[in-house]
Structure 1
Amino acid sequence: MATETHTQTPPTTIITAFFGFLVSTAVSLAAAVLLAGSRQQLVDTLRESNQDALTEEQIQGSATLGLGFAIGVTLVVALVHLWLAFKLKAGRNWARVVLTVITLLQLASIAATQGNTAVGYASCAVALVAVVLSYLPASNAYIAAVKRSA
């Protein structure tokens, strides 16, 4: 006996939220690329605050390690963010909740720190719009319909 499967078509609000999360992720990745270009500034800052505790080789290594770690974390977060965006598009409520929490943490980070850039603000603003779109009535109806059909 063949079972008939019904696929739900995501509404415009979900599609727009999906692309919003993609753009937010792309902006964050662009920030990581810009961060990689600031290595010398980090080395200079470490050198100024060193007070003869580290050798030049240690300063260079610390800058490389710090930037590598920051870029690695950014890449992992970006991959998770993309995976969650695709799950949201597929109508998974848990993905919407996790994306909301991540966006709120991003907003809290911006509010708590002074070192933000226009790129960070742009990424957060786009993600906030995407979160709002994912909770509009059409989005809620789509996610409920996907849950009912599962």
Structure 2
Amino acid sequence: MSDSNLPPSYPAASSPAPAGGAPVAPPQQVNIAFWLYIVGAALSLISLIISLATIGSLKGDLQRQLAAQGQQISDSALNATVTASVTVAIVFGILYIAAYVLFAVFMRRGANWARIVLLIVTVLSLFGILGGFGLGAARVVVGVIATILIFLKPANEYFSAVKASKRPRA
């Protein structure tokens, strides 16, 4: 395939796979989206750290809410509840961040299923835009921009080329 057959905005390094099924290099949009997803994961990590740093106020808030409802709870039960909540938040936060990065890696390698998963995660993140100490909005904006990039024409061609390179040749 000659360079003259390529669309003008699509770099030669990202052209569809040659007949030998050689790897296809991701276009610039996919690389930018990948790094934006990494930034989103970093913002999630920062949000998790800030949440853990402010855990002391959680215990006080919980005590005030229970007192306002006329309920009492022992300090040991309250500590156990807060500890369990923190443990669950840490575990799920780390799993979320790890999965998000893993999906971004697979997306960069041309896995269309990872692109769809990242789209779904981005849409679902719109519901939590106000959370995370203001970082939630930044994380959503970064995710939306990255998701738009992975559905532009050069990215679509890249994912199609990767899929075509994996088909068995007759």
Q: Any residues of structure 2 matched to 1:28-67 within 5 Å, and which?
A: 28-51=44-67, 52-67=71-86
Which residue identity does 1:120 align to in structure 2? G
**What value does the CA root-mean-square deviation take over the aligned residues?**
1.5
Tell me the equivalent position of 1:146: 162
1:6 and 1:115, CA in 2 relative to 1: closer, same or farther beyond 3 A?
Answer: closer
1:50 counterpart SS class: helix
2:25 counterpart SS class: coil
1:49 counterpart SS class: helix
Tell me the equivalent position of 1:22: 38
Residue 117 of structure 1, CA deviation? 2.7
Runs of 4+, deviation exceeding 4 Å: none
Residue 109 of structure 1, CA deviation? 2.9
Q: Residues 13 and 133 of structure 1 are in contact (CA less than 8 Å); yes or no, is this contact kept in structure 2? A: yes
When Rg is computed on C-alpha atoms for both structures, the one with the higher figure is: 2
Q: Residues 31 and 119 of structure 1 are in contact (CA less than 8 Å); yes or no, is this contact kept in structure 2? A: yes
Q: TM-score scaled by structure 2?
A: 0.80
Q: Residues 39 and 64 of structure 1 are in contact (CA less than 8 Å); yes or no, is this contact kept in structure 2? A: no
1:115 and 1:148, CA in 2 relative to 1: closer, same or farther beyond 3 A?
Answer: closer
Tell me the equivalent position of 1:68: 87
Q: What count of residue pairs does the alignment treat as equivalent?
A: 145
Q: Residues 38 and 104 of structure 2 are in contact (CA less than 8 Å); yes or no, is this contact kept in structure 1? A: yes
Which residue identity does 1:141 align to in structure 2? E
Residue 140 of structure 1, CA deviation? 0.3
In the alignment, structure 2 segments of 5+ residues that lack a partner are 1-19
Q: Residues 35 and 67 of structure 1 are in contact (CA less than 8 Å); yes or no, is this contact kept in structure 2? A: no
Rounded to whole Å, the distance in 2 between the matches of 1:41 and 1:108 is 24
Q: Percent identity?
A: 26
In the alignment, structure 1 segments of 5+ residues that lack a partner are none
Give the number of the structure whose residues are more often helix, by fraction.
Answer: 1
Tell me the equivalent position of 1:105: 124
Which residue identity does 2:92 align to in structure 1? V
Residue 115 of structure 1, CA deviation? 4.7
